Amino acid sequence: MTRFKLILPTLDKIFRKRFYVIVPLLLISAIGWTFLRPKPAEQFPPQGDIIENSAGVADLGSKPELCDPLSQPGGYMLISGTLQLDEVGNSQGFLQTDNAETGIYFDLDGSARVGIALKDGTTAQIQNFQPTKTGKLDFVIFLKSDGKMLYYENGMKTERELSPISPTCNAVRVGMGNESANFGGVISATFRSGTDLVDAEKLVAKYGKQFNSNSVFLYNWSKIALFAGVLMIVFGNPFKPQKQDEDSQDELV
């Protein structure tokens, strides 16, 4: 606190000439909004046949070959797609690879989440803890046999390292999942698995790069510059020394 009081006079001098700060901040903001605004995100490229629920729940039946790579070194499963959420108040199932939380599921319960069966009989749940909103939702679920998992929801990345996993693929369905109510919106998804892990990692890294580029970083800073500039205009100099009123002076005497 003492150090802060020592620098108050310096801050006061700076903010007396705050318009010399405001103008560059607004200039930076204008450049960011004009030249650095991110383009609409590219969807993850489909990996195989596109499965959708336009005719109701798409039941692919038993697909053990889909989960087999997850028990092999360098194995993985990659699930990606897009869905249209019309409501978020009720629990809804998007997709699953098996029943009764014995596989991998993707559903909505407050927010979108991914569930993965573990070898100890429990289920790990992964979500980004941001409220899921109505509208379009792009998703990528990338699970490796060593338990490392990456989940993208509309560009927001969540990573987890899970204990030994053991999901099965005996009831693969799109349009329902985790015994929740069938999804009332439209969803399309693709499934891919294998042991060509390096290729899959490159594909996911390329997709994620669009959300973490230098232009995105600078654009976000331009929004902060705009916010700071507006605050300085509205509130003026917050570091200006405050004069004590006469009553306070009397009390001090």
Does 221 lie in the same domain as 116?
Answer: no
Does 199 lie in the same domain as 89?
Answer: yes
Q: What is the pLDDT of residues 216-233, one digit of tens each?
A: 555 565 566 566 666 666
Task: State which residues form the domain around 25.
Answer: 2-38+212-238
**What is the C-alpha separation between 219 and 195, in angstroms, rounded?**
38
pTM: 0.73
Does 94 lie in the same domain as 18?
Answer: no
**What is the C-alpha separation between 223 and 89, in angstroms, rounded?**
31
Report yes or no on 248 lying in a domain. Answer: no
Does 135 lie in the same domain as 19?
Answer: no
Does 110 lie in the same domain as 29?
Answer: no
Report yes or no on 137 lying in a domain. Answer: yes
The two structure tokens encoding residue 97? 């690879």
Report yes or no on 169 lying in a domain. Answer: yes
Does 132 lie in the same domain as 27?
Answer: no
Does 164 lie in the same domain as 152?
Answer: yes
Does 171 lie in the same domain as 108?
Answer: yes
Q: What is the pLDDT of residues 188-226, one digit of tens each?
A: 999 999 999 999 999 999 999 887 755 555 556 556 656
Does 94 lie in the same domain as 22?
Answer: no
Q: What is the pLDDT of residues 53-89, one digit of tens each?
A: 988 999 999 999 999 999 999 999 999 999 999 988 8
Report yes or no on 10 lying in a domain. Answer: yes
Residue 150 in contact with residue 142, Cβ under 8 Å?
yes
**What is the C-alpha separation between 203 and 4, in angstroms, rounded?**
49
> SS in 3 state form for 168-233?
CCCCEEECCCCCCCECCCEEEEEEEEECCHHHHHHHHHHHHHCCCCHHHHHHHHHHHHHHHHHHHH
Residue 157's nearest CA partner among 1, 41, 67 is 41
Report yes or no on 68 lying in a domain. Answer: yes
Does 218 lie in the same domain as 138?
Answer: no
